[in-house]
Amino acid sequence: MMKKILFLFSMLLLLLVGCQAQAATTPEEIIHNLVSDSTTFQSYYGVSRLTEHYDDLTIETIMEEKVAGPDLRYVESTDVTTGYKAYSMYKDKILTFYSEELEEAFQTEGELPGLDLSNQLDFIIDFLSTFTEEEVELEVVGEEEIVGRMTDQLQIKNLGTNSLFDEMVLWVDQEMNMILKFYSKTGEMVSTTEYEELQLEPSFDEDDFFIPIPEHMVIEDLEEGFKPESITLDEAKEFLGKDFLLLSEELVTLSDIEISQFEELVDISFIYSRDSIAYISLFVNPIDNEEKEEEFDYFPGAEQIIFRDTKAYVIPELNWIMWEEGDFSYTLMSDNPTIEIEELLEFENQFISY
C-alpha cells in the first residue's frame, strides 16, 4: 500500500505543473505571469502518449481523455506492450476505476478539484511557492508547435537538496492554461507525456462516458476497503505470522495499532506518541515472494542511506525512512510537523523484535 501511496504522490506532481507559464527569471515573476489573461475552455478531447524509462525498462501507454467540464471526465489508458486497458471516470462526484489486467473495479465518492482546469493554476502557484530562488531555476528555453498549437518551453531545474525531482520541462500552450507536453527526470526515472491529438470544446454523447465493466463483476467500495481498524499487539503478531520489528518504549509510547486491508494490499501501522502527543508511526508490510526477487527501490530520486546495517531510502520532504528487513518492509514516518528526518534517524537502535 505504501508503494501505491508513493505512486499517487508522483501523479500529483503531474497535476501540480498543469498550467500556463510565460518567460521569467525568478519564481516570483513566473507566478506573476501565470495569472495573466488566457483563453478559457471547459471541455476537450485528447490523445496523449506516456513513455517511462527506468534503467532497461520502458513502458509506453496511450491515454484517451474526454473532459466535459470539472465534474465529468473519462480516461482510457492502453498498455502498448500488453494491450490491457484501464479506465477511470469521474461522474456525478463518483470516481470509478476498472482494470482489465487486474480484473477488478472500484468506486469512491467525493470532490476532485484537481479535475477543474481553472484550478490547475492554484497547484503550480503552491508548488513553486515551496522553493526559493536558490533552490529552483526556471527558464523559458524556446518555442515549439505541438498538435498545431504554439507552446513556450519552460525548463525547471532543481538546485536544492530535496529529491522530489531533478528536472522538469513543460511545453505550455501560449493561449490557454494547458500543458501539451511534459518531461520529468527523477533519479533514473525519465518520463515524457505528449499530446498527439487535441480538440477543444468538442461535442460529446452520453455513450462517450461509459466504462465496460463486465456484468458479473462486483464494484468494490474503495473507501471502505482502505478504512483502518484498531487491533491488539497479539492480533498484529497473529496476522503477520512471523517475528517483526517494533520500537522500544523507552522514548515513545505505543498508543494504537491499525490495520488497513484491501484485496492483497495490507498495512499494519504502529502509532507512537510522546507526552500524549502524536509523534511517529511505523508501517509494517509483508513482502511477497515476487517482491523479494526484485531490487528494493521504492522511490526514484529518494536518498539512499544505510540504516540498521541495510540499504534504506529517505525522503526528507515527507520525513520518511523506508527499508526491508527479514520478511517485511518498514516505513518510519513523522506524525508531528516538528519532527524532521534527523530525529527519525536517531531511532535506528531503538528497535526490538516481537
Residue count (the chain): 354
Q: What is the pLDDT of residue 187?
A: 78
User: Which residues share a beta bridge with 98?
Assistant: 87, 105
Q: Identify whether the C-beta of residue 44 lies closer than 8 Å to the C-beta of residue 201.
A: yes
pLDDT reading at 287 higher than 90: no
pLDDT digits (tens, 9 = 90+) for 18-69: 333 333 345 555 545 544 555 666 789 999 999 999 878 899 999 999 999 8
Is the entire prediction scored with pTM above 0.75?
Answer: no
Which three cell numbers mark 11? 501523479
- Determine which helix (DSSP H) or strand (DSSP E) holds 3, and give its type and residue range: helix 2-16
Q: What is the pLDDT of residue 70?
A: 78
Stronger pLDDT, 23 or 269, i.e. the higher one: 269
Which three cell numbers mark 184? 520529468
| CA 219 to chain centroid | 23
Q: What is the mean pLDDT of residues 90-112?
A: 86
- Per-residue pLDDT band at 244 (split at 50, 70, 90): very high
Could you tell me what percent of the chain has a pLDDT over 90? 39
Q: State how far the Cα of 193 lies from the Cα of 200, in Å rounded to an integer.
A: 19
Q: What is the mean pLDDT of residues 198-207?
A: 92
Which three cell numbers mark 178? 494547458
- Determine which helix (DSSP H) or strand (DSSP E) holds 127, and give its type and residue range: helix 120-129
Per mean pLDDT, which of 265-269, 290-294, 300-304, 337-341 is the most reliable? 337-341
Stronger pLDDT, 303 or 197, i.e. the higher one: 197
Reduced to 3 states (helix: H, G, I; strand: E, B; else coil), residue 4 is helix
Q: State how far the Cα of 20 lies from the Cα of 179, in Å rounded to an integer.
A: 7
Q: Measuring CA to CA, how many Å separate 159 from each of 57, 165, 170, 232, 238? A: 27, 10, 17, 46, 47
DSSP state of 77: E
Q: What is the pLDDT of residue 18?
A: 33
Burial 156-166 (b: 16+ CB within 10 A, else e): bbbeeebbbbb
User: Which residues share a beta bridge with 185?
Assistant: 167, 190
- Per-residue pLDDT band at 222 (split at 50, 70, 90): confident
User: Poorest-confidence range of 6-20, 64-78, 174-188, 307-321?
Assistant: 6-20
Q: What is the pLDDT of residue 146?
A: 95
Q: What is the mean pLDDT of residues 290-304?
A: 57
Q: What is the mean pLDDT of residues 334-341?
A: 87
Ordered structural domains, the chain, with CATH: 17-222 (2.50.20.10), 228-353 (3.40.1000)
Mean of pLDDT over the chain: 79
Q: State how far the Cα of 107 lies from the Cα of 282, in Å rounded to an integer.
A: 28
Q: Identify whether the C-beta of residue 272 lies closer than 8 Å to the C-beta of residue 279.
A: yes
pLDDT reading at 345 higher than 50: yes
Within 10 Å of residue 320's Cβ, how many Cβ atoms?
A: 22
